[in-house]
Amino acid sequence: MNLCPFIFPTSRFRPASILTPCLKLNICVYNDLPSRQAQAQDLLSVTHVSSRLRDVALADASLWNQVLYLNNIHPGFLYAILHRSTPLPLSLAFTEDDTLTNGQGLQWVLGQFSRVEYLHIDVAEQVEGALTKLFLSMAAPILRQCVVRFHGERNVCLNDSTRLFNNNAPALDSLDLLNCYILPQHQSPSNLSIFSVRYLGAKPIEAGHPLPFTSIRNCVEWQGYFQFTTGIILSNCIVPADTADAALLIEIELPSLQSLMIAASPTVCEQLARVLRYPAQCGVSVNVLLPYGRPIFSQDVEVSAAAGCLFILPHEVFKRCWLTAE
């Protein structure tokens, strides 16, 4: 932590008015777990430097509400963070792995989950994610941003047996999912501004993939859910409908959309282009994914180009197109 190098207390300034901004310099709500741990430890160290610094650090809850984590943390320090951050909303980040705290410390956090405003969860490759799903099943009345990332070659449904946040996250503004997804039939309409679903598998998703994925049929069930959504990212995370089902797909209205980013197979791109309806001024980026592991033929290029062109609205200015093959 970089403290202010020179502090000159005078009658014009209260010490806290100078020291507190210095202590906040390195605190960020969106940091990763290692940085968060380091920031929390820095704050703890500050409380042992001098009585004045200790008084300042303990008096300002905003120094503590952004550094809550659950990995390799002493229960006493965990309790101190929860107590010192009261009554402010919490920013919580953790990785579900064998370093995660358990017992009483975990119960403390679960008991105060209604205070969480920002949530970032990573699930280690060898872990199924049972605790993550427990957190995601709890009501989160003030939660604004949520990031969930499953590591490893898998794609996990988060609400197959329960509703995400028990359908009680009215303030949720941004949902970012990696190697996981949610089903629409278990969710109520929301006020989401940003919705991102990405799969980082090695191959483009096609029909018959051994892992579970959201299908185009699921997508049309989101009708009304994204009424206020301004940004959507769908990256290699959707399987196409078969020919018979594709003919029955209905349109999805996205009246507030300003940015749409899609990475998918030609078939999925084609079907999405036929069902998604968004304002003409919406910025659209489409990455048509060609099959890996085999030669690319002219027919593949033609099909991909045709799928991409479906996103170009009449009289729209077309800016850029490129083709890469590995």
- Domain locations in the chain as residue ranges: 66-310
pLDDT in tens, 15-26: 555 455 555 545
Give residue 128's identity as a one-letter amino acid code: E
Question: In degrees, to the nearest 5, what angle opens at C-alpha 171 toward C-alphas 170 and 173?
Answer: 120
For residues 294 and 269, the answer to whether their CB atoms sit within 8 Å is: no
Instruction: Give the torsion sign (CA, 88, 93, 98, 99).
Output: negative
pLDDT for the residue numbered 276: 93
Q: Which of 1-15, 100-114, 283-297 has the highest mean pLDDT?
A: 100-114
Per the prediction, the chain carries an average pLDDT of: 83
pLDDT in tens, 284-317: 999 998 877 777 788 888 888 888 888 887 766 6
pLDDT for the residue numbered 108: 95
For residue 136, how many other CB atoms are within 10 A of its CB?
23
For residue 82, how many other CB atoms are within 10 A of its CB?
19
Widest Cα–Cα separation across the chain = 79
The answer, yes or no, to whether residue 324 has pLDDT greater than 90, is no
Q: Which of 25-34, 197-206, 241-250, 268-277 has the lowest mean pLDDT?
A: 25-34
3-state class of 57 per DSSP?
helix
pLDDT in tens, 196-248: 999 998 777 777 777 888 888 777 778 778 889 999 999 999 999 887 777 77
- Average pLDDT of 128-135? 96
Cα(31)–Cα(127) distance, integer angstroms: 23
The structure's pTM equals 0.85
The answer, yes or no, to whether residue 14 has pLDDT greater than 70, is no
- Average pLDDT of 36-45? 73
Cα(239)–Cα(152) distance, integer angstroms: 19
Cα(19)–Cα(9) distance, integer angstroms: 10
pLDDT for the residue numbered 32: 60
For residue 224, how many other CB atoms are within 10 A of its CB?
12
- Split at pLDDT 50, 70, 90, the class of 5 is very low
pLDDT for the residue numbered 183: 87
Cα(22)–Cα(16) distance, integer angstroms: 10
DSSP secondary structure string for all residues of 93-123: EEEESTTB--THHHHHHHHTGGGEEEEEEEE
